[in-house]
Structure 1
Amino acid sequence: MLALVVVLTVISLLNLFLTVGLLGKVREQADRLAKVEAGAPPMLPNGAAINDFTTTTLDGERLTLEELTGEMYVGFFNWNCEVCHEHLPAFIAEAKRMPGRRQVLAVVRGTPEQAVEMTSQLNPVARVVVEEKQGPVQRAFQLYATPAFCILNPNHTIQVSGYEPGLKTPARS
């Protein structure tokens, strides 16, 4: 009988810890949704400078903030995000309007194995980085939601950002 009480107590405590953890995640998601609904940008605000980072592209190229030169079109995706998949064709169309592949950066959240469907479409038009949640590039841009898009000035500041591809700036209208 005592063993049964101990087992039930352990199960109850485990359930309590899992519930508290789940509530924390729900609160985090609710906060993110509130920011999105309030129109907050999905990353650093316009005019903010990007923090330094070091990463490796899918092609094995070392990439740092210093190596992003000229105006850059940047897109952030999550491999298992339905809206990200829906926005992929529009991002690719916009990327093709840039002067070259080196002026486009696509960051896919996940593992290379998980992201293969997205990266196979993005690689011809962009330098592609695949990283886990809150990887170096996501931290540099202070990304908190996907999909997210921005135009980065040559001085490494965000000119404009949003949740939809095809961002318009005075120079690109």
Structure 2
Amino acid sequence: MAYVVAALVLVGLLGALNLMLAVGVVRRLREHSAELAALRSGGAAADAGALSSFGEVALRDGSPVGAFTAVAVDGEPVTLGTFGDRPLVGFFSPGCTPCEEQLPAFVEFAADRPGGRGTRLAVVVGAGEETAETVERLSPVATVVVEPDGGPVQQAFGVTGFPAFVLVSDGLVTASHYQLHAVAGRDAAALSAAG
């Protein structure tokens, strides 16, 4: 009988320990969910200084874009000069949930942006079949380049995460962010100021 009591006490203690560990894991998951929500909302929960530590995914405003040469999916050579004085550039990676969330907004914004398809560059990072759907969605509104991770266009723009949106003016970054609305707002302001 003493063995049964000892076994029940041991099982009870293990159950209590398991419950405490589960509560700790749930608490940590809630913290991570809150941090992820803050990142996806553009860092609204953080001040601008804190945002710069986790919001940057490309070169900072005022930085010169590096030289690059690439080939578009239609076979045409591509350089920064190909896109005029004020290109809009978007970087996407298939399988990236934030990229999928931002892609329809980019397509819509790019379609409505003055200057035509030749003022927009979309870079899809990946290879083969995984990029096909993204390329198909972007091709009507932008020149599309497919390159591997760490490719020449990503290096020229200092891309460290996806999605990344960059607005360039005369070879200098005027806006960059992982949320399209931040770049689109700067673009709209610049276009209205220009006339």
Same fold at TM > 0.5: yes
SS in 1 for 2:171: coil
1:125 aligns with 2:141: yes
- C-alpha separation between the residues in 2 aligned to 1:86 and 1:66? 29
Greater mean alpha carbon deviation, residues 124-133 or residues 158-167: 158-167
Name the residue aligned to 1:162. 177
> Which one has the bigger helix percentage?
2
Partner in structure 2 of residue 171 of structure 1: 190
CA offset digits 1:70-105 (Å, max 9, x no partner): 211110000110110111000001101222000110
What is the rounded CA distance, in whole Å, between the counterparts of 2:163 and 2:51 in structure 1? 11
C-alpha distance in structure 2 between counterparts of 1:134 and 1:36, whole Å = 24
- Give the 5 Å matches for 1:38-49: 38-49=53-64
Which secondary structure state, in structure 1, belongs to the residue aligned with residue 167 of structure 2? strand
User: How far apart, CA to CA, are the structure 1 residues paired with 2:112 and 2:160?
Assistant: 27
Q: 1:82 aligns to what?
A: 97
3-state DSSP class of the match of 1:117? helix
- The answer to whether 1:63 aligns with 2:78 is yes
Gaps of 5+ in 1: 1-32
Distance 1:142 1:171 in 2: 23
Please list every run of at least 4 consecutive aligned residues from structure 1 whose deviation after the TM superposition is greater than 4 angstroms: none
> Counterparts in 2 of 1:1-173, with a 5 A limit?
38-98=53-113, 99-153=115-169, 155-166=170-181, 167=183, 168-169=185-186, 170-172=189-191
Change (3 A) 1:41 1:132: same
Take 2:80 and 2:52, find their aligned partners in 1: how far apart are those partners? 30
Gaps of 5+ in 2: 1-38, 40-49
Over the aligned positions, Cα root-mean-square deviation in angstroms equals 1.9
After TM superposition, the score normalised by the length of structure 1 is 0.75
Q: Relative to structure 1, is the Cα distance of residues 78 and 53 closer, same or farther in structure 2, using a 3 angstrom cutoff?
A: same
- State how far apart, in whole Å, the 2-side matches of 1:37 and 1:53 are: 26
What count of residue pairs does the alignment treat as equivalent?
139
TM-score by length of 2: 0.67
3-state SS, counterpart of residue 38 of structure 1: helix
Query: Who wins on radius of gyration, i.e. which is larger?
Result: 2
Q: Which has the larger displacement, 158-167 or 36-45? A: 36-45
CA contact 1:36–1:42 (8 Å) conserved in 2 = no
Residues 34-84 of structure 1: CA distance to partner in whole angstroms, max 9, x if unpaired? Answer: x97734421110011100001000110001123231211110000110110
The percentage of counterpart residues that share the same residue type is 37
- Give, in angstroms, the shift of residue 113 of structure 1: 2.0
- In 2: Cα distance, 1:144 partner to 1:96 partner: 26
